[in-house]
Amino acid sequence: MEQTQTASAQKTPGRQAEGQPILRLERVKKYYGNHGNITKAVDGITLHIDRGEFTAVMGASGSGKTTLLNCIAAIDSVTSGHIFVSGKDITAVRERDLADFRRENLGFIFQDFHLLDTLTIGENISMAQIISGTPPKVIDRRVRDIAGKLGISGILEKFPCEVSGGQKQRCACARALINEPKLILADEPTGALDSRSSRLLLETMASINEKLGATILMVTHDPFCASFCGRILVLKDGKIFTEIRRDGKTRKEFFTEILDILTLLGGDTGNVI
C-alpha cells in the first residue's frame, strides 16, 4: 500500500490559520434508537478546524465517521451540541434554509462520484451554479479556470462514460470546488478508485489544499490516503480517541506514525481500518 513519495507530497500541506475556525464542534452527540437500544454514533465531540487545514477522520467501521460528517453537512440532525461553520450555528438553521446553506458553504466529494451520465463533464461541474442562477459567462469562466487547475480542460465536452475513473473523480473535485466552498467534505473519496487513481486524487486534493487554500475534511480507512493530510482525528466509539499532526514530517514518516496509532487502537480493528 505504501508508495514512494513525490516532491509535491513532501511538504506539510495546509496554510496558516486565519481568524476564527472554519468549523467548530461543541460537545456534539448523535444518538440513534431509543431508551432500550441506543447507539451512541457520535458521543460528545468537540473540535476546531482552521481555514486551510486538510484533516482526515479515521477509525474502525462503526466508530462514527460518516455520522460525524453527515452532522457537519446538516444531512443528519444532532441529538445535542452545536456545530459552527464560519461562526454560524448550523444546528439552528431552519430546515428550509439548509439547502442554501449547503450550496453556499460546502462542497462534497462522494465515493461513487455522483456524476449525472446524461450531462457532459463541463455541465456536471457547473450544475450547482446554473441552479443558483449565476450568469452563463461567469459560469463558463469559473469552469474553465477550475478545470485548468485540475488538468481536465480537454474533457469538458465528454460524457462521464467516456472518461477514466481518475478523471471522473477530478470532475467531482472541480464540482465541489466551483463555488469556492468554505469547507469540502469527502467520505472515502478513493474507495472506488484503483491505486493509481487514488494517488492522483489525493495529490489533487493536497494541491487544492496547498495552492487554493481549500479546507478539507476527509473520512478514510486508508493510512496511505490519510498520510497526505496535515492532521488526523482517530475516532473510537463515537469519541475522539486521539489526534496526530504531520508538522514537519515527510509523508512517509507520517504514514508510519499513522500505522503505529492504528495498531495502538487495538488488534481487533486491524481488518477494518
Ligand X SMILES: Nc1ncnc2c1ncn2[C@@H]1O[C@H](COP(=O)(O)OP(=O)(O)OP(=O)(O)O)[C@@H](O)[C@H]1O
Could you tell me which stretch among 62-70, 122-130, 133-141, 199-207 binds Mg ion (CB under 5 A)?
A: 62-70
Q: Which one of ligand X, Mg ion, none is in contact with 169 (Cβ closer than 5 to 8 A by kind)?
A: none
Q: Cβ 234 to ligand X, closest distance in Å?
A: 11
Binding mask 12-51 for ligand X (x = CB under 6 A): --------------------x------x-x----------
Q: Cβ 223 to ligand X, closest distance in Å?
A: 14
Query: In this complex, which beta carbon is closest to ligand X, that of residue 58 or of residue 214?
Result: 58
Among 28, 56, 67, 178, contact with ligand X (rule: CB under 6 A) = 67
Query: Is residue 124 within 8 Å of 160, Cβ to Cβ?
Result: yes
Query: In this complex, which beta carbon is closest to Mg ion, that of residue 191 or of residue 213?
Result: 191
Query: In this complex, which beta carbon is closest to ligand X, that of residue 43 or of residue 50?
Result: 43
Does 112 help bind ligand X (rule: CB under 6 A)?
no
Among 8, 12, 39, 66, contact with Mg ion (rule: CB under 5 A) = 66
Cell of 136: 452563463
Does 77 help bind ligand X (rule: CB under 6 A)?
no
Query: In this complex, which beta carbon is closest to ligand X, that of residue 66 or of residue 164?
Result: 66
Q: In three state form, how does the secondary structure of the chain look?
A: CCCCCCHHHCCCCCCCCCCCCCEEEEEEEEEEEECCEEEEEEEEEEEEECCCCEEEEEECCCCCHHHHHHHHCCCCCCCEEEEEECCEEHHHCCHHHHHHHHHHHEEEECCCCCCCCCCCHHHHHHHHHHHCCCCHHHHHHHHHHHHHHHCCHHHCCCCHHHCCHHHHHHHHHHHHHCCCCCEEEEECCCCCCCHHHHHHHHHHHHHHHHHHCCCEEEECCCHHHHCCCCEEEEEECCEEEEEEECCCCCHHHHHHHHHHHHHHHCHHHCCCC
Query: In this complex, which beta carbon is closest to ligand X, that of residue 16 or of residue 37?
Result: 37
Could you tell me which stretch among 64-72, 80-88, 125-133, 140-148 binds ligand X (CB under 6 A)?
A: 64-72
Query: In this complex, which beta carbon is closest to ligand X, that of residue 123 or of residue 237?
Result: 237
Residues lying near Mg ion in the complex (CB under 5 A) are found at 66
Residues lying near ligand X in the complex (CB under 6 A) are found at 32, 39, 41, 59, 61-67
